[in-house]
Amino acid sequence: MAVNIEVNENRRYGIRSPLIYGHFIEHFHRQIYDGIYDPESPLADEDGFRTDIIEAMKKIKVPILRWPGGCFVSSYHWKEGVGDNRKPFFDKAWRVEDPNTFGTDEFIKLCQKIGCEPYICTNAGTGTAEEMSDWVEYCNLDHEGQYAKWRIQNGFRDPHNVKYWSIGNENYGSWEIGAKSAEEWGRLVREAGKMMKHVDPQAELSAAALPNIEWNINLLKNAGEFIDWVSIHEYWDMVPEKNDLATYEQCMAFTKHIDHAVEEVRGLLKAMKLDKKIKIAFDEWNLRSWHHPNVHTIKQGIHKKDYIDPRDKNDDNSQYTMADAIFTASFLSAMNRNCDIVGLANFAPILNTRGCLYSNSEGIVLRSTYHVFDLYVNYLGDTIIDSWSEEVPTMKVNHKNGVEIEIESLDILATKWIDKPGIALAIINKLSDEGQTITLSFPFPPTGKSVSLYGISGEAPDSYNDVGKNEITIFKEDLGDYSKNMEIQLKSHSVNIIQIGARHPLNSE
């Protein structure tokens, strides 16, 4: 039976921020060194950056890039990573030596090459409020003070103009260096925010939050007047110690109430009458956590084979299947629907580890999740409009915790463009082995408008891309002109963008 979809383009929920399609990069394993920054590579430019990776990032219009962490930042001192007198240091978060050749100025160069906003996460673990505000001075003041003058001395006359700053990372967690209590956190964020805003009143500040009433109330009561964002993180398939990845079915279970953290934090902001002042930055997220055993535990690995070598398991491309793609699309659709409160998000990370890009010495692989970003960034509209369906089929799946749950088998999001004609639907079919039929039944007459479907599926739910292997790529189907009650067939385990009357340069092949 076909699922009937109705759309009211005149009922607009809001315009999503392009920043929800942001990304993240950290000094972990092969993300920076032997990743995006590899001066010895024949594929690198004059500044040491891999041009193939940058081009791939530009294609999905990366709007904002968060750096340098992550857990790494909580013992990172930025002043040691600028200028000529740099020395390698031991990174206490990930227990490796960092050569310190990639620092603030290199990060800004990278963002300029990509064409994205830099988003700097500061050290709120072993760092101080003054150190954080000194960083803002270095980046944003024209010439006043020793740090702006130091930037000029380092060859950057114009300010870096970093608008987005995060005070700390996951400082609520016992795994984080310099973890804080709720009371300590509220006071530190207040003082850091105060000093950073004194340096640059236009800087937008975020601070670590989570769906926890005590933590958030302490943060917002103490520092609510100084921050513009609350930062939340989530990974659903937690595999830091044992790389036992969830199955396709278990990943579908994770999509139920995928935006629960947003709803919980939204409720608290609204209760404290801050929902019009402070937005949510979901600035670290992915389906699967990074695999890094024997580091964030009391018992530490002694030999590198116990805590360094296992990180190579993150580079197994066979792990990144249509399960990852469908989860990622479900998350992005949910953030679109929450466009009134979520203004920024960062997929963690963009490169290697669990990234949507994989690099080796000879080139890159576009993992399944890369194509999801391509679809949502380049084919979906920016204005969320009303859509509804009756009797969406459900499916029963087993959660990784063993509990059987029921979820809807289709995820439907309707959009249009604020400055272009046309409608675009994002429709996700979560069924692993069955296609589905949808019927478009609109109350307005777009008759005669052409219909195109762009999507990804793969031959099987476990399809993946690897070196010399492209099982998942974007396909296009021209479906002819729209007619009322038009039926469209969706492939199994697929992510689809259906455009109606969207003839503009973006999609004119």
- Residue 442: CB partners within 8 Å, gap ≥ 6? 6, 7, 9, 484
Query: Token match 């227990």: residue?
Result: 95
* Residue 362 known to be catalytic: no
3-class SS letters over 217-281:
HHHHHHHCCCCCEEEEEEEEECCCCCCCCCCHHHHHHHCCCCCHHHHHHHHHHHHCCCCCCCEEE
- At residue 369, what are phi and psi to the nearest 5 degrees? -70, -25
CA distance 506 to 166: 33
User: In one letter, which amino acid is 463?
Assistant: S
Check residue 311 and give left, alpha or beta (phi > 0: left; psi -120 to 50: alpha): alpha
Of 170, 191, 204, 234, the active-site residue reads 170
* Residue 9 known to be catalytic: no
In angstroms, how far is CA 240 from the centroid of its own chain? 19
Query: Token match 């697929």: residue?
Result: 494
The CA angle 97-98-100, to the nearest 5 degrees, is: 145
Q: What is the DSSP letter of 309?
A: G
Judged by DSSP in three states, 26 sits in coil
Residues listed for the chain: 509
- Residue 101: CB partners within 8 Å, gap ≥ 6? 33, 37, 86
> Tokens at residue 5, please?
């979809």
Count CB neighbours of 208 within 10 A.
Answer: 27
Strands (E), 301-449: 342-347, 357-360, 363-366, 383-389, 394-398, 404-408, 410-416, 423-429, 436-440
In a 10 Å sphere around its CB, with 0-12 CB exposed, 13-18 middle and 19+ buried, how is residue 207 labelled? buried
Of 106, 117, 137, 284, the active-site residue reads 284
> Tokens at residue 377, please?
């960034």
Query: Token match 């987005």: residue?
Result: 164
Query: Helices marked H in 301-367 — which ranges?
Result: 304-307, 322-337
Contact 206, 260 (CB under 8 A): no
CA distance 245 to 238: 8
Active-site residues: which are they?
170, 284
